[in-house]
Structure formats: C-alpha cells, structure tokens
Amino acid sequence: MKLKGNTIFITGGGSGIGRGLAEALHRSGNQVIISGRRQAALAAVTAANPGMKALELDITDPKSIEQAAKKLIAEFPALNVLINNAGIMSPDHVQKTVDDAQVSSIVTTNLLGPIRMTSALIEHLKQQPDASVINVTSGLAFVPLAITATYCATKAALHSYTLSLRYLLRDTRVRVLEIAPPYVQTELMGPEQAKDPRAMPLKDFIEETMRVLGTDADEVLTQPVAFLRNGAGPRDAEFTAQFNDRMAGEH
C-alpha cells in the first residue's frame, strides 16, 4: 500500500502495536485517527503527535461502532484505510469451566469488533480511489498457545475472515491486508511482557511492519513469526504440541 497521503482510522490506537502503527503512519505523512475506550490514553497519544485525531469507541458495542462510523465519514470524508487492531488477550483455562464473561469479551472484542467495524465502513471505502482494510491478527492465528485458547481461536477466525473478505473484494478498489505480529514487547498480557527479552522490541516490529506494508504483500509478516506461519498444515496438531511444550518449559 502507499505509505503517505492516506486518511487512516486505527482501533485500539492508545497503546502497544496500535499506538506504534499510528505514530509511524503519522510521521509518514498520513492523517491518522485513533480510537479506544480510555480517553486519557487517547489524549496522551494525540498530545504527543500534533495533528493526530482521536475518537472514543467501545468496539464491543454495535451502537458505538455505528456512531463512530457516521462521525468518521462526516468529519473525514477522505477516509480510505481501516486498521482493525483493537484486541484483548488473557489466559482462559479452557481445560476447566470457563469464565463466560471473560471468553465472551475476548470474542466480541477480537472478532465481532473487526467484522462490525468493517461492515460499518466498507461501502464508504469502496468509493475511495485507493482503499485498504488491514486486520491485525497474530502468529497465534496459525498455531495456538493453549493457555490463551479463546484469544488464539479469535485470531484464527479473523485470519479466515480476512481471506474471505479479500476474495469478495477482489474486483473493487479495496485491498485487504493482514498483519500477523509475533510476540512483541507490549502490555497486551501485562507490564511484564513489555520487558520480556523473548519478545520482539516494539520499535523493531513497527519498523519492519512499515517496510513490508510499503510493498505489495497481502500478509505483513516479520521474521520472528515465520516459524508459526509455516508451522500450520497437515501436521499442525503435532506442531502445536511441540510449540506448547517448549513454551511451558520456558516458564
């Protein structure tokens, strides 16, 4: 995709990968609008990046999505890129009786949120001369981390949805891309993750992602995620067991 001259809406732009992408795209010469539920976080990001805009959004609420879409189209008619980034991740212990509120929140945020947000903006995006929908999935979309089973299932589903959406929009002006991050130093799973030496530094991830975004690639993959992307296949059950045994041994 082109890396400048866009009007870009990013969900979950107040922290982590969302903030990193928002700031990198802002520096590249795009109008960036970030969203999230934490007004203080949004205000901190926009204050640090003059010209960036923010919009409060509860990605779990269909009415909030509908209202946000109407506001975006009215105030930013040149909007041509949607980045579905908002997501939550937590251990869910599916080998036991699950916490229904927890798993429902993960599914609603990570899967229904992007589907609903895309639906609310897709007809507008079709009218733009050069548009993109970019879904942020995960390397765990291809090989699950068992202790976060519901999160991984939502990312696998979002990957599948992305493939379908790309096919269905193949004859339109809208490109559909997928960013599948590896384990990155953010606070997705808590403050400790941001300092974990096993995780890819956020700065390095953003730099590599921006480089790949500037190509014709439909999947934006960084080197540390390749083993997960390539591990899926006929032997995925065996690979999943090996991956989870290794991860368990590192804790």
CA atoms of 163 and 158, how far apart (whole Å): 9
Chain centroid offset of residue 9 CA: 12
- Please give the domain boundaries of the chain with CATH numbers for all domains: 7-249 (3.40.50.720)
Catalytic-role residue among 151, 161, 167, 183: 151
Full strand arrangement of the beta sheet holding 81-84: 53-56, 31-36, 7-11, 81-84, 131-136, 174-179, 219-220
Q: Check if the beta carbon of residue 33 is closer than 8 Å to that of residue 72.
A: yes
Annotation marks residue 183 as catalytic = no
CA distances from 110 to 85, 86, 124, 230 (A): 9, 7, 23, 23
- Whole-number pLDDT of residue 94: 97
Going residue by residue through the chain, which has 251 residues, state the pLDDT in tens, using 9 for 90 and above. Answer: 999 999 999 999 999 999 999 999 999 999 999 999 889 999 999 999 999 999 999 999 999 999 999 999 999 999 999 999 999 999 999 999 999 999 999 999 999 999 999 999 999 999 999 999 999 999 999 999 999 999 999 999 999 999 999 999 999 999 999 999 999 999 999 999 999 999 999 999 999 999 999 999 999 999 999 999 998 788 888 898 999 999 888 65
User: Which is it for strands 81-84 and 53-56: parallel, antiparallel or unpaired?
Assistant: unpaired
Among 115, 18, 98, residue whose Cα is nearest residue 62: 115
Contact 200, 222 (CB under 8 A): yes
What is the Cβ-side half-sphere exposure of residue 181, based on CA atoms within 13 angstroms? 26
Provide the phi-psi class of 190: left if phi over 0, else alpha when psi is between -120 and 50, else beta. left
Q: Is the whole model's pTM more than 0.75, yes or no?
A: yes
Residue type, position 178, single letter: E
The contacts of residue 141 (CB under 8 Å, 6+ apart) are 152, 155, 156, 158, 159, 180
pLDDT at 231: 81
Lookup result for tokens 């480089």: 211
